[in-house]
Amino acid sequence: MATTSAYAAAAGGEAAARRTLLRPRPPPPRLAFLSRTPARGASISLPTGIHRAAAAAEGRTGMGVGSEEEGPAWVELEPIGSDEQLDRALAAAQQRGAPIVLLWTASWCRKCIYLKPKLEKLAAEYYPRILFYCVDVNAVPQKLVNRAGVTKMPSIQTWSDSQKQGEVIGGHKSWLVIDDVRKMIEQEE
């Protein structure tokens, strides 16, 4: 007959109890969506360009009889990646007789990342009179950065008649930068 000490029996009982306590539990109901696998085609993709948030949320196009056409909620900043693209944008602006706004950013710049959506909303206020563009300094030739005189990021510049007319360096709170950009645009118009 095998004998076991009381200590060994108690330790075995505790281990069994501990095993039942350490079993993985299902997530609480409010977090259950985290354990589910995503449905097929559940990814989100947004079209580039003008975004009409209110109309899309309500499922309408704004083309109904008697409905007022609302402006876009935000306008995606068109990227510029070369001297030629900048020259084309400046030439088109000169033909329209309106300035353009350039946002000079870097992919590693945290303030640039925070500021860009706010400038997209500001661009919606001035669309289509004034067009906003975005230039990533790491993706363009250095001579283009030198041509614009960019030394700090984020830099927001207004250009008209192929010349830089004004500049705001965005190193402080984004709402202050947006106010400064708005004042700079109003001076140009």
DSSP 133-189: EEEETTTS-HHHHHHHT--SSSEEEEEETTEEEEEEE--S-HHHHHHHHHHHHHHH-
pTM over 0.85: no
Average confidence (pLDDT) over 142-168: 92
Domains present along the chain, CATH in parentheses: 71-188 (3.40.30.10)
Q: Indicate which residues carry an active-site annotation.
A: 109, 112
- Average predicted confidence (pLDDT) for the chain: 77
Helix (H) or strand (E) holding 75: strand 74-75
Average confidence (pLDDT) over 137-150: 93
Is residue 130 within 8 A of residue 101, CB to CB? The reply is yes
CA distance 150 to 88: 20
Average confidence (pLDDT) over 32-50: 53
- Residues contacting residue 73 through CB under 8 Å, at least 6 positions apart: 51, 52, 53, 54, 121, 124
Label residue 11 by pLDDT band (50, 70, 90): low
Q: Which of the two residues, 159 and 188, has the higher pLDDT score?
A: 159
Label residue 64 by pLDDT band (50, 70, 90): very low
Average confidence (pLDDT) over 153-157: 93
Listed range (39-43, 155-159, 181-185) with the worst mean pLDDT: 39-43
Tell me, what's the pLDDT at 59?
A: 47
Sequence-separated contacts (24+) of 13-21 with Cβ below 8 Å:
none
Query: What is the edge-to-edge ordering of all strands in the sheet holding 100-105?
Result: 78-80, 131-136, 100-105, 155-160, 163-169
Tell me, what's the pLDDT at 188?
A: 78
Q: Which of the two residues, 22 and 67, has the higher pLDDT score?
A: 22
φ/ψ of residue 122, rounded to 5: -65, -40
Label residue 69 by pLDDT band (50, 70, 90): low
Burial class (CB in 10 A: 0-12, 13-18, 19+), 19: exposed
Tell me, what's the pLDDT at 73?
A: 86
Q: What is the total residue count of the chain?
A: 189
Label residue 9 by pLDDT band (50, 70, 90): low
Average confidence (pLDDT) over 163-180: 89
CA dihedral (159, 184, 166, 73) in degrees, to 10, reads -50
Neighbouring-strand partners of residue 166: 158
